[in-house]
Structure 1
Amino acid sequence: MAPIRDSEQKRTIRSMAIDYSAARANMVESQIRPNKVTDPAVIAAFLHIPRERFVPPTLSGVAYVDVDIPIGAGRYLLEPMVLGRLLQFAGPRPTDLALEIGTGTGYGAAVLARMVATVVGVESDPALARQATANLAAIGIDNASVVTGGFLDGCPAHAPYDVILISGAVPRIPAAVEQQLAEGGRLVAVEFADGIGRAVLVRREGGRLSRRVIFDAATPLLVGTEGKPAFVF
């Protein structure tokens, strides 16, 4: 067996020294609850899902810090507070069919899967999609699946959805995604325009869509939703 290098040994020891369950509880008590997240189902999901399993191994030690964590391919794991508040407004229910756009490594899908009947995750990067599928299986999540596809298209094959979560900021919620919202459904996302990020709640009631800003959020733009630049003469 090859000897363990000093740097590898230090990382292993440091990882073993972290009490992730305590870090998870601290995240809920210091980041989730104080930011108006009161839904017991949302809180229970955050307490149950091991966030450290969804970040690169070198960043597992900061998995519960209140920042957006890079996961590769220009993508980020949403800050816990932002994800928690989005889910609070979405109000997931046990019978819901949910769509997550920008699944990344699968954390948002895993949290949603604790609260709804079924989750469909859309991921544009094949490597991240495979990683998300493996991560979900590794922690025993069997009611969430990941498909590879474009973020602007959503996943019409399984529409309509009771809950839609976009895990990353978009310049504007794609019209095609809004159309996949079921009657009584809730869509939550962060729209980033003119240098300002604002979380938005979209609802379909009586066949009509309504929208309102729910809070400010400095969330990284979801790669692949930037749109085409305008032609300049």
Structure 2
Amino acid sequence: MVAQQIRTCDVLDERLLERLREVPREDFVPKNLRAAAFADTPIPIGRGQVMFAPMLDARLVNALALTPDDRVLEVGTGTGYVTAVMAGLARLIHSVEIIPEFKLRAAVSLAAQGVANAVLEVGDAARGFGRHAPYDAILVSGALPLGPDAHFRESLAVGGRLVVIVGVSPAMEARLIVREDADRFSERSLFETDVPVLINAPQPKRFYF
């Protein structure tokens, strides 16, 4: 997976690549779909949600440029796979999941891997989650059609990075937002993609004639 899929999309951070080798992705995939664990395709996990393809997971985490001292907010725990990957790269992961059964299953999988620095919570973080702010990095694992609410930006520490997918299918793009100082943010487009919309994310207004 690392050699054939991830290195080919310019994910070259050796700490991240090593972590991707260490975490057994197949242990986080629904049992009936384990044969597809390393396929370059999203995997359905129930309730209309998916586990992103390995390449997309890697590119999103790579853009965060995590360091060992970082405190991270993950919006959308899902299976816990990305949680486990980031837990080996940062000091502490706060992961918020709106679907209680997903949180419970992810907790079991993370415990089986010995991950002790990830705190899982049930909650709706579609408009931000400032409970443990400030964060050094935030990853939103679902699309926000209107872009991130201001609460996401304000929850970043100075120097903090927010990676989010913005837009409406099929025209979505991953973006990196960096808090340069108390009042100034920079933003750049990373790549195009297409993923499910985050549950309860604000939607653009629709006009009917």
Aligning the two structures, in what range does the TM-score lie when normalised by the shorter sequence?
A: over 0.9
1:124 has 2:98 as partner: yes
State the alpha-carbon separation in 1 of the partners of residues 153 and 56 from structure 2: 21
Q: How does 1:62-77 map to 2 (within 5 A)?
A: 62-77=36-51
Gap regions ≥5 residues in structure 2 = none
Q: 2:200 matched to 1:224?
A: yes
1:141 aligns with 2:141: no
Q: Map 1:3-42 onto structure 2 (within 5 A).
A: 27-42=1-16
What RMSD over aligned residues (CA atoms) do the two structures have, in Å?
Answer: 1.6
**1:108–1:167 contact (8 Å) kept in structure 2:** no
Which residue does 1:211 correspond to in 2?
187
Aligned to 2:168: 193
Aligned counterparts of 2:201 and 2:23: Cα–Cα separation in 1: 28
The residue identity in structure 2 corresponding to 1:214 is L
TM-score (norm 1): 0.84
1:45 to 5, 16, 19: 19
Distance 1:179 1:132, change over 3 A: same
Q: Is the 8 A contact 1:202 1:212 kept in 2?
A: yes
The count of aligned residue pairs is 207
For the pair 1:109 / 2:87, whether they are aligned, the reply is no
**Structure 2: how far apart are the matches of 1:105 and 1:123?**
10
Query: Moved runs in structure 1, 4+ residues, more than 4 A?
Result: 228-233
Q: Is the 8 A contact 2:66 2:137 kept in 1?
A: yes
Distance 1:66 1:226, change over 3 A: farther
Separation in 1, partners of 2:204, 2:168: 15
Name the SS of the counterpart of 1:86 in structure 2.
Answer: helix
1:232 is displaced (CA, Å) by 5.2
Alignment of 1:166 with 2:140, yes or no, is yes
Higher-Rg member (1/2): 1
Could you state the TM-score of these two structures normalised by the residue count of structure 2? 0.93
Q: Helix, strand or coil for the counterpart of 1:147?
A: strand
Give secondary structure in 2 for the equivalent of 1:156: coil
In structure 2, distance between residues paired with 1:224 and 1:137? 29
Report the CA distance shift for 1:190/1:175 in structure 2 as closer, same or farther (over 3 A). Answer: same
Q: Which has the higher helix share?
A: 1
Superposition deviation, residue 106 in structure 1 = 0.7
